[in-house]
Amino acid sequence: MQKINTQAEWIDRARAVLPAAGFGNFDAGIVIARGEGSHVWDEDGNEYIDYLIGSGPMLLGHGHEEVMEAVLEQLPKGMTFFANNAQGIALAEEIVDAVPCCEQVRFVTSGGEADMYAIRLARAYTGKTKILKFEGGYHGMSAEAQMSLAPARAVNFPTAVPDSAGIPQSVADEMLIAPFNDLEAVASLLSEHDDIAAIIAEPLQRIIPAAPGFLQGLRDLCDKHGVLLIFDEIVTGFRLAYGGAQERYGVTPDICTLGKIIGGGFPLAALGASAEIMAHFDKAHVGAEKWLMQLGTLSGNPVAAAAGLKTMEILRRPGQYDRLRALGQSLMDMQSAALSEAGIAHQICGDPTLFDIFFTAHEVKDYRSAKHLDPQDNAIWNASLRDDGIFKSPGKLYPSLALTEADLQQTKQAFSSAAVALANSKPVNA
């Protein structure tokens, strides 16, 4: 086989066999060759400080020695069985010990799959059909989740707008959409509809924090109306705190979904709830009519479970979350200082463990307010950072525990350069 030496050649090959030349996840104009610690390299050998970290899972960095040892110990014993295995059972035990709402869990392979089953589980348990979600909330790729994730047009609430082709109107009819951080709107919908099975929410919606009292308000409204509360903790689980957003914010949902970090960089996710709710996965317990069928070839994969177990063990060590938050806060402060010095209106939005910038002077509280005054500002900012060796999503920055002081200093300089580039792009006042 002819040796491929350049990134451009890989991109040409991708165009022939992949729609839009990519996997659908990230910029198809870059092909990553390898990662180590807090850095990644593309196929041309360009080195970057990695603030994408696989869209969140690599909290310890790439190729962490102890995680690698755990994986290499498991590999000769078997890669997958489609049957119970000790690593998966042990991982379930650790999740139950860590996450307040979980008495039992079920494993799946992806976060979107976990969210899909969480919605189905809520319907099975309550016997109701409608789901309330928040505009701009991301819950995977199921038909329900692809409602009002990123609507291009503003419609009146609670109308659901499909974000994808191929979704029938009947799905939209079972979805109610509310603005994030608006308890009054939620209360109104719960009073008007008696067929709502659950509210599904990201406790930190993308990077938009819940307003003080909002999550507890959701909990109280759900209790009042007999509705289940689902927290999508695919991103926040084991990131905001060891026990996730539930621990960080002190609000316990009825069902939660987990992913990313619990697989240690391998495909693994889960959903969890009380034993009473999770009983719907047990046909012998609830009977055929109330049984929720769930299976997956790679669910509870022992290699992923081994990586997740070791990752969680490391995260339990003293000081890990204090350090993660300190790193994140430093990065937030660096960005704000650089932009303020350049006279650029901005807001740093999120949590020190996950955040980014909105180039606006307005308060960011929900999907409709989470807008750049000029979207080109964000493009210029991110392009400048990429040129200076910073690898990140256009809308998120994930700190990792692998970051070094040298990484922070390089990043600080890149922020300063990006702020100057953004200031220079502005027209000079006459």
pLDDT tens-digit series, residues 355-364: 999 999 999 9
Q: How many CB atoms lie within 10 A of CB 293?
A: 9
Catalytic residue status for 321: no
Average pLDDT over residues 344-363: 96
pTM here is 0.96
Q: pLDDT-derived band of residue 427, with 50, 70 and 90 as boundaries?
A: confident
Q: How many CB atoms lie within 10 A of CB 187?
A: 17
DSSP line for 326-368 = HHHHHHHHHHHHHHHHTT---EEEEETTEEEEE--SS---STT
Catalytic residue status for 125: no
Give the CA dihedral 167, 173, 174, 178, nearest 10 degrees.
100
Residues of the chain with pLDDT > 90, as a percent, come to 97
Average pLDDT over residues 185-211: 97
pLDDT of 271 strictly over 80: yes
- Residue 2: the pLDDT is 61
pLDDT of 136 strictly over 70: yes
pLDDT of 430 strictly over 50: no
Give the CA dihedral 427, 373, 141, 203, nearest 10 degrees.
130
pLDDT tens-digit series, residues 53-68: 999 999 999 999 999 9
Q: Give me 84's structure tokens.
A: 């119970």
**Mean pLDDT, all residues of the chain:** 96
Pairwise CA distance, residues 406 & 404, whole Å: 5
Q: What's the N-to-C CA distance of the chain in angstroms?
A: 61
Of the residues 232, 351, 366, 388, only one is catalytic, namely 232
pLDDT of 417 strictly over 90: yes
Angle at 307 between CA 302 and CA 308, to 5 degrees: 95
Residue with tokens 């350069």: 417
Sign of CA dihedral 113, 116, 120, 122: positive
Of the residues 128, 133, 260, 392, only one is catalytic, namely 260
pLDDT tens-digit series, residues 370-406: 999 999 999 999 999 999 999 999 999 999 999 999 9
Q: Tell me the sheet residues that pair with 105.
A: 272
DSSP line for 92-128 = HHHHHHH-TT-SEEEEESSHHHHHHHHHHHHHHHH--
- Residue 5: the pLDDT is 77
What are the chain's domains? 31-52+319-348+357-424 (3.90.1150.10), 78-315 (3.40.640.10)
Q: How many CB atoms lie within 10 A of CB 282?
A: 14
pLDDT tens-digit series, residues 103-126: 999 999 999 999 999 999 999 999
Q: Give me 27's structure tokens.
A: 């910029």
Residue with tokens 């070839």: 297
The DSSP bridge pattern shows strands 228-233 and 196-201 to be parallel
Q: Which long-range contacts (CB under 8 A, 24 or more apart) does 164-169 make?
A: 167/143, 168/143
Residue with tokens 């807001």: 347
- Residue 429: the pLDDT is 61
Q: pLDDT-derived band of residue 426, with 50, 70 and 90 as boundaries?
A: confident
406: which residues sit within 8 A by CB, 6+ positions away? none
Catalytic residue status for 138: yes
* CA 240 to each of CA 22, 201, 237, 266, 354: distance values in angstroms, whole numbers, following the listed order: 30, 16, 7, 20, 8
DSSP state of 237: B
Of the residues 48, 125, 138, 367, only one is catalytic, namely 138
Contact call for residues 311 and 261 (beta carbons, < 8 A): yes
